[in-house]
Amino acid sequence: MTESKFNSLVKTIGIFVALGVAVVIFIYMYQFLFNKGYVLGGTAAFGAFGDYIGGILNPILGFATVILLIYSIRIQMKELRESTIALKASQIAHEELAKTSKKELSIIEQGHLNQQSALKREALRNQLTENAENIIKTYDKLMNLPYVNASHTQFSLRDLLYNLTQLNDNTVENNIANISNLMGTEPSKRNEQAKKLHLESIKKNINQLVLVFLELKPMLEAPSLQKIWGDRLESRVLDCYGLTIFTEEEMERARKLITVDTTRPLI
């Protein structure tokens, strides 16, 4: 029940009460004054008249009061029920908002974690790429350093591999044997220990490059990049085999590591 309806009910009850009082007075006056010719007396007569009016009006007013009380209680109960519903709706809305905020925060945090992971991955890939390039530079430098004297001319390992040997009709085994003979030539101003350290440095360099490549390969998402790096490394492994730095078993093991698919954890 709205406030306007309640006010209308109060007015209606007030009108009925006023009409009831007027009717009671009219009946009293008609019955005793006009019909029987009684006259109003003193205090006792007015007291009796008051008792008469009170005896009739008190039940009417009491009944009206009860009705108003009942409607007032109904209004309070309805308002309490509506308030409870509103509070529940507000609580549900608050919980939904909290869930939404928590979900959004979780998404943002996950985005930050993904971004940090991507940055770490990129930084590690760049670092490994730089390390691999530096190792290759060191390898190329070692391969181009003077290694032996042949016919009063200094030759590097790269010269031995690509300039002094020709495959043509010779077998690979014969060329490897020729390289071994040339590598055994006494170098000027260098001793056997220096030659040994030179070859060990190259071998260590290639082994280190293989390990770095195994870390780098999973981060090279494009297959073409993996192939480019694999070819660069494999050609140097074959060079080491051609110079007898690697045995055939070591060469095959290195090539297998280069070509195998790896799923090692990145970070």
How high is the mean pLDDT of the chain?
76
Is pLDDT above 60 for 111? Answer: yes
Is pLDDT above 80 for 114? Answer: yes
State the residue for tokens 């019909």: 35
> What proportion of the chain, given as a percentage, has pLDDT over 90?
12
CA-to-CA distance for 206 and 250, rounded, in angstroms? Answer: 11
Q: 3-class DSSP state for residue 260?
A: coil
* DSSP 3-state percent helix, strand, coil across the chain (nearest 5): 80, 5, 15
CB 237 within 8 A of CB 255: yes
Angle at Cα 227 formed by Cα 226 and Cα 232, nearest 5°?
100
Confidence of residue 66 (pLDDT cuts 50, 70, 90): confident
Q: What is the pLDDT of residue 156?
A: 74
In this prediction the pTM is 0.52
State the residue for tokens 């280190």: 208
CA-to-CA distance for 101 and 186, rounded, in angstroms? Answer: 78
Q: Tell which residue, 135, 155, 159, has the closest CA to residue 146.
A: 155
Is pLDDT above 70 for 61? Answer: yes
H runs (alpha helix) in the chain: 3-28, 43-144, 157-162, 172-183, 192-216, 223-242, 248-259
Q: What is the pLDDT of residue 31?
A: 62
Average pLDDT rounded to a whole number, residues 256-267: 62
23 token code pair: 């009717």
Residue 74 backbone phi and psi in degrees, to 5: -60, -40
pLDDT digits (tens, 9 = 90+) for 156-192: 777 766 654 443 444 344 444 555 555 555 544 445 6
Average pLDDT rounded to a whole number, residues 129-147: 87
What H or E segment, with its residue span, contains residue 166? none
pLDDT digits (tens, 9 = 90+) for 26-59: 776 666 666 555 555 555 665 676 777 777 778 8
Burial class (CB within 10 angstroms; exposed 0-12, middle 13-18, buried 19+) of 217 = buried
Task: Name the E strands within the chain.
Answer: 146-150, 153-156
Burial class (CB within 10 angstroms; exposed 0-12, middle 13-18, buried 19+) of 95 = exposed
pLDDT digits (tens, 9 = 90+) for 198-248: 888 889 989 999 999 998 888 887 888 888 999 999 989 988 888 888 889
Q: 3-class DSSP state for residue 265?
A: coil
202 token code pair: 């190259």
Helices 192-216, 43-144: axis angle to 10 degrees equals 150
